[in-house]
Each structure stands twice: as structure tokens, then as C-alpha cells.
């Protein structure tokens, strides 16, 4: 197998709540690897720390201990748990994408511009960026009459697809997916599955949480099971 793009060693996250003087562990003893062109699925019951691991990699959470080693495009190994803020921002812009469960966007922006924004940020010509956004929205079956409307009024599933398109458009090297199909109907889920399969072929490395065991079975190359509160076991499908 090719070299891992991401290797997590003994990662743990504990929240300290000052108000209640309490420590709340949300993930511990996490070890996993993610490879180019392959998908690693995180499984485990609610509260096992699946989202917490993704947020730790993206640095939305400050990891409490362990190493999160990312092999960058330039070939450097960066510990994301300790990297500087500007370096993290640059990696988010250029290399690491995150599709979260919620869509935050400005109320005035059209769906197309929301989706194209990661390309704008990279300095892609706006005409080209919008063209690529339209193509992706069509692929994810967002009705074309919604493209020029701000997503604030969209249904949950439509918002989810806009969010997904926004995460996918810049084709990051490492893509983190937090239940990307959670509120989608079966037909749309199928399109997303196809899209994820095609992303694998382009060499994108993915770490994903899926609601459905069926999706794990179909899409995952590696499966990592997390269990609350601390025990972690790594299973292999092969």
C-alpha cells in the first residue's frame, strides 16, 4: 500500500469546563491512517468521539495529546496538533477539506457562490469557479432554479448538498466527511456515493463518518472503530 497521507498516533481530546470544574473526555487512544485514493471510515456509537477526531484534525478542536501527522503536498510531515494557526489556515485553503453537518454562510450569497467560494479563495477566475460550482450542483441533483438563491431557505437535504459541493469543489488532498448523506433521500445518497467513488479514483484521501453501515461496507477501504469512553480497536476489512 502507498504511504499514508495522515497518521494519527494516540490522539486524545478532553474538554475542560471551567464553570463546572469538570473534564469531559471525548476521544482517547485514537490510532489510524488514511491513504491516497482510499477511504477510512470511523465507526462507533454516539459519543465515541468520531466527530471529535475529525475536528481535531481540522483543528476546530485543540487536541489534548497525541500526534496528527499530515504529509503535505510539498512532502513535509506536519503535526497538525501543534502546527501554527497560519499554517493550518493555509492547509485548509489548499489541501484539507471538511464537510461538516452544518452549513454556515452569508445570507446574501447565492448557492453557486457559496459552493464556488473555496475556489475564489484560491484565486481561481470567478467565471471558471462558478462554472465548476454549477457542474457540481447539477451532479448532486440540486435543482437549477435554486442555484442563484441563497441557501438559507433551502430544505435540510438541499443545504446538505450545497455544503457537500462546497467541500468537494476544491478537490482537497485530504477530505474529512462528517455524515455527508445524513439527511439525503436514497436517490441522492446514491449520487453522493458515486461521487465519492470517483473522488477515490482521483487519488483523494478520505476519512469519513457514515450513518449507515451499508455505506461503510460499500465505500470504506479501512474501518476504525471507536468506542466510548476510551477503548479503540482498529479493524481491517481486507
Instruction: Please state the closest distance from residue 61 (CB atom) to another protein, in A.
Output: 4
Q: Is 108 in the site for another protein (CB under 8 A)?
A: yes
From candidates 31, 67, 109, 131, binder to another protein by CB under 8 A: 109
**Only segment of 15-23, 162-170, 204-212, 225-233 that touches another protein (CB under 8 A):** 15-23
Per CB under 8 A, 120 contacts another protein? yes
Which span (102-110, 128-136, 139-147, 160-168) binds another protein, by CB under 8 A?
A: 102-110
Pick from 88, 124, 141, 223 the residue near another protein by CB under 8 A.
88
Q: Does 24 bind another protein (CB under 8 A)?
A: no
Q: Quick one: which segment of 60-68, 156-164, 181-189, 204-212 binds another protein (CB under 8 A)?
A: 60-68
Q: What is the maximum alpha-carbon separation in the chain?
A: 52
Q: Is residue 18 close enough to count as binding another protein by CB under 8 A?
A: yes
Q: Are 177 and 204 in contact (CB under 8 A)?
A: no
Which residues are at the interface with another protein (CB under 8 A)?
Answer: 15-19, 55, 59-62, 85-86, 88-89, 104, 106-109, 120-121
Amino acid at each position: 500500500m502507498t504511504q499514508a497521507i495522515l497518521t494519527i498516533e494516540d490522539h486524545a481530546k478532553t474538554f475542560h469546563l471551567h464553570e463546572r470544574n469538570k473534564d469531559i473526555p471525548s476521544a482517547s487512544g485514537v490510532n489510524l491512517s488514511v491513504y491516497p485514493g482510499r477511504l477510512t471510515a470511523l465507526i462507533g456509537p454516539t459519543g465515541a468521539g468520531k466527530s471529535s477526531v475529525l475536528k481535531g484534525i481540522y483543528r476546530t478542536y485543540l487536541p489534548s495529546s497525541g500526534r496528527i501527522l499530515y504529509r503535505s503536498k510539498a512532502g513535509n510531515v506536519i503535526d497538525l496538533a501543534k502546527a501554527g494557526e497560519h499554517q493550518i489556515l493555509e492547509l485548509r485553503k489548499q489541501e484539507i477539506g471538511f464537510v461538516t453537518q452544518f452549513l454556515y454562510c452569508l445570507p446574501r450569497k447565492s448557492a453557486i457562490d457559496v459552493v464556488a467560494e473555496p475556489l475564489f479563495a484560491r484565486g481561481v477566475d470567478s467565471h471558471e469557479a462558478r462554472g465548476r460550482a454549477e457542474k457540481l450542483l447539477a451532479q448532486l441533483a440540486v435543482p437549477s432554479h435554486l442555484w442563484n438563491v441563497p441557501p438559507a431557505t433551502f430544505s435540510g437535504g438541499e443545504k446538505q448538498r450545497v455544503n457537500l459541493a462546497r467541500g468537494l469543489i476544491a478537490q482537497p488532498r485530504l477530505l474529512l466527511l462528517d455524515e455527508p448523506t445524513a439527511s439525503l433521500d436514497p436517490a441522492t445518497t446514491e449520487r453522493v456515493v458515486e461521487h465519492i467513488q470517483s473522488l477515490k479514483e482521483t487519488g483523494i484521501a478520505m476519512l469519513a463518518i457514515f450513518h449507515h453501515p451499508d455505506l461503510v461496507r460499500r465505500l470504506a477501504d479501512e474501518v476504525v472503530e471507536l468506542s466510548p469512553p476510551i477503548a479503540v480497536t482498529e479493524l481491517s476489512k481486507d
